[in-house]
């Protein structure tokens, strides 16, 4: 069994910038996909968000493991995938309810703004959770 690396060795400015790049890419895919599903296909805002968030989450695991947390490649992929799902699904549930609250009364925030606010706050929390627990 490979030796676990410290959480601190998984954190760096370079890793943080890569994580931000992955996050921004995911944000663009998420937002663009929701817009397409809502505006072009007439899907509801909440189901469209749920579908796109699952697709983005799957891509984020593979990109994060390969490029953002290079020390994490020494861990067992299946075990990391389970940990990733725990963190990602937990945060996505919180994100979904936050998003739903923001687009509903009393705030009635435009859905694209709500995606932006929820995603930005979540990125910071997930970076530390992934580096400290998932990819070590």
Tokens (6 digits) for 59: 């891509």
| Stronger pLDDT, 10 or 116, i.e. the higher one | 116
Domain span at 50: 8-134
Domain contains 1: no
Residue 77 pLDDT: 86
Domain contains 3: no
Using the predicted structure, report yes or no on whether residue 6 has a pLDDT greater than 60.
no
| Stronger pLDDT, 72 or 4, i.e. the higher one | 72
R_g (Cα) of the chain, nearest Å: 16
Question: Which of these, 116, 118, 115, lies nearest to 45 by C-alpha position?
Answer: 115
Domain count of the fold of the chain: 1
Distance of CA 26 to the CA centre of its chain: 7
Surface-to-core class of residue 80, CB atoms within 10 Å of its CB (0-12 exposed, 13-18 middle, 19+ buried): buried
Domain contains 20: yes
Domain contains 55: yes
φ, ψ of residue 135 to 5 degrees: the values are -105, 45
> Which letter does DSSP use for residue 106 in this model?
T
Q: What is the pLDDT of residues 101-120, one digit of tens each?
A: 999 999 999 999 998 999 88
- Mean pLDDT computed over every residue of the chain: 87
Domain contains 2: no
Question: Which of these, 81, 72, 73, 117, lies nearest to 98 by C-alpha position?
Answer: 117
């Amino acid at each position: 069994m490979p030796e676990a690396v410290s959480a601190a060795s998984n954190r760096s400015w370079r890793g943080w910038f890569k994580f931000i790049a992955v996050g921004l890419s995911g944000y663009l895919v998420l937002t663009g996909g929701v817009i397409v599903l809502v505006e072009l296909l007439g899907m509801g805002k909440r189901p469209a968000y749920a579908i796109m968030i699952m697709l983005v989450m799957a891509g984020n695991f593979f990109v994060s493991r390969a490029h953002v947390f290079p020390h994490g490649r020494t861990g067992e992929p299946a075990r990391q995938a389970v940990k990733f799902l725990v963190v990602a699904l937990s945060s996505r549930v919180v994100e979904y309810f936050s998003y739903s609250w923001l687009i509903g009364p009393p705030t009635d925030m435009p859905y694209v703004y709500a995606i932006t606010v929820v995603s930005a706050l979540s990125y910071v929390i997930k970076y530390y959770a992934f580096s400290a627990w998932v990819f070590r």
